Amino acid sequence: MHNTSLAVVRKQGTALRDEVGATTAEYATVTGCGVGFAAVLFKFLTSSAGQELLRFIFSAIKALLPF
């Protein structure tokens, strides 16, 4: 993967706004959100309600199987 930078050029001037590092911040934000979601999901699935939901899902799947 290669690093690309984005620049915005004003119509009547040559001023540039460099956005180098923006993708790094975006990756960090998405990674943080993913870790937060994984923590909430883990906490739910290890709770009694989550365990009951998993039992229900797997029993429904077993009922669909012909063997």
Q: Is residue 27 part of a domain?
A: yes
pLDDT in tens, the chain (67 residues): 555 555 555 556 555 667 777 788 899 999 999 999 999 999 999 999 999 999 999 999 999 999 8
Q: What pLDDT, on a 0 to 100 scale, did the predictor assign at position 37?
A: 98
Q: Is residue 1 part of a domain?
A: no
Q: Is residue 45 part of a domain?
A: yes
Q: Is residue 39 part of a domain?
A: yes
Note the pTM of the prediction, 2 decimals: 0.57
Q: Is residue 56 part of a domain?
A: yes
Q: Is residue 54 part of a domain?
A: yes
| d(C-alpha 67, C-alpha 58), whole Å | 14
Task: Please tell me the total count of domains within the chain.
Answer: 1
Q: Is residue 53 part of a domain?
A: yes
Phi, psi of 50 (to 5 degrees): -65, -40
